[in-house]
Amino acid sequence: MVHFWDHTYRCFTFNKVDMVPTIEEYSTLLHYDVRNLLRIYWKQNVNFRGPLANLMGLLVDTVKARLKDKNGPCISWSDIRDVMGKACGDRHLSLFAFAIYELIVFPKALGYVSVELADFLF
C-alpha cells in the first residue's frame, strides 16, 4: 500500500483506476432517488434565467442585464447580497442557501457565483 500513497496530494492513487463514485453510487449512499440522469450527465442549454429571476424576485430582463460571463454565466455576490437584504421569509432563506451553496461548492471568479444550477436546485 505504501507505493500507492501520493505525498503531494496526501491521498492514495491507483494509477489509471477511477475511484470516484458515480451518480448512481452517490444516489445509493445518500438514499436519494435521481429521477433524471440525463439532466445530470449532459450539459444542456438550460434556461436558468427564469428560476433565478423568480428566486431573486426580479424581472428576467433585470437578471439578464446583471449576468456576467466568467467562463460561464455568473452573477455578482453583491447582487445576491442586496436582494437578500430586501427579501424576507422563505425567499430570504432560499437565497441564503443558494448563495452559500454557490460560494462554497461552485465558486467562479472572485466575487461571482455560477447561476447554472438555479434551475436544478430551485
Domain ranges for the chain, please list them.
Answer: 2-39, 45-121
- Say whether pLDDT at 119 is over 70: no
Model's pTM, two decimal places?
A: 0.55
Contact between 77 and 113 under an 8 Å Cβ cutoff? The reply is: yes
- Say whether pLDDT at 28 is over 60: yes
Residue type, 60: V
User: What tens digit of pLDDT does each residue of 54-79 get?
Assistant: 888 889 899 889 888 877 788 888 88
Q: Alpha-carbon torsion 77, 119, 44, 49, what sign? A: negative
